Structure 1
Amino acid sequence: MVIAAALLMAGPTAPAGNAEATTVAAKVTDPVPMMELLAPGGKGRLYTLSTAEAAAAVSLYGFTRQAGQVGHWRMAAFTGSQPVYRLRSGSSYLLTASASERDSLAATGRFEVEGVAGHLAQRHTAGTKRLMRFSRSGEWRVAFEDHSQELIAAGYRVDRALGWAPRVDSRRSHLFRHVQPEVHQRHYRHEERLRTRRRLVGRRTRLFRRRSGRTEEHPGLGRGFLASEARDRVLR
């Protein structure tokens, strides 16, 4: 199955509101999640910032949305940024920040240039991590540099760096609340439960200290509670 970028973005017949939606997307300056989708058959991965394109890939072409996101990218250029281009070869997609690599791959006739996938920072700044491209037998993946050993063990090799992406907490982002409100609501309820547990621990600890005249934490609540809270944050 081959995805045509124009069909994904507009659909078989473009609705009248598409131009307005494109204009709104162009004005977005906050980092947004880069979504990863696996092609039918498990070979080839699509990367997109567009929820409409991701939905079309799933419903029309049988792609599978992968959990999480591959960093947070910007839709428009910003100071110190560089564009990352997307190319397609069959059902496989390749991202590159190199215009020369883009042109040389397109010249082979095997790749079609689909435009700019998004924008990343050229250099490291506080709160960012470097995104890398990995390859294995005609398939390309994008992941943070700290996952290199894991992917190398799975048979991938490191191709090149793409840029630096911010470590944005997507669950707290107002844009994330707008794009995926149901996930935000689950996170909000989870945070409320954590706050309730903290208040309960505080009350029990103060009561324990008053009754016993001791200053240490209530047995079973201190480190155990903190460990369970940390585990909850990892799992959610």
Structure 2
Amino acid sequence: MSNANCHEVTVNHQAAMQELRDMHNITMATLKAHEQQKLLLEEDFEKLRLSLQDQVDMLTFQNQSLKDKAKRFEEALRRSTDEQIIDALAPYQHIEKDLKSLKEVVEMKNQQIHQQEKKISDLEKVAQKNVFLEEKIQVLQQQNEDMKARIEMNLATQLTEENANLHESVEKESTEKKRLSRNNEELLWLLQTSPLMSPAPLWSSPSRPSPVPLVHHLWTAHLSHFSCIKI
């Protein structure tokens, strides 16, 4: 074997040995870590076991205490007399009676509620009727106002016509009175200026008529004309 081959074999052998050493170191480190973890788990387990044991012991003690109390209570109940039992049940003797009274109160309240609901329903009906009546009253009031307006308009028209007729009558009467006044003045003037109204002479002629009948005739005719106009 040549020196080169020997050297190559030596190098490969050393590399393989180094790889084995590295793997061994890694394996040992892993085992050591596992061992430490195992120790920690064992410690935690021991702590947990002790804690659980304490809890078990405490629960066992409490259970025994409860058993003792139950036993003493049972013995006390056995020693209790009928009077003690009656005293213990006394607060509950009136439950049935109280329930009956409560039921009666509830029924009475239900009746009151039913009556109130009926009253509310009646009031709602009355309110609806009032609304209808108010609307009807408004319609009637409007009709009344319209009728009043028409009556006032007709009355105003009628009064206007009557006032016009009355004014016309007054005008006619005033005109007639003025005419009669003028006639009276003319008649008075005629009477005053008539020769028949002159002073009579001391002598009288049998053939000269007396002025009195003529004046009486004129005055009578004037009065007759005035009476016809008034009628």
> Do both share a fold (TM > 0.5)?
no
State the TM-score bracket (shorter-chain normalisation).
under 0.3
Q: In proportion to residue count, which structure has more strand?
A: 1
Q: In proportion to residue count, which structure has more helix?
A: 2
Look at both structures and tell me which one has the larger radius of gyration over its CA atoms. Answer: 2
TM-score (norm 1): 0.24
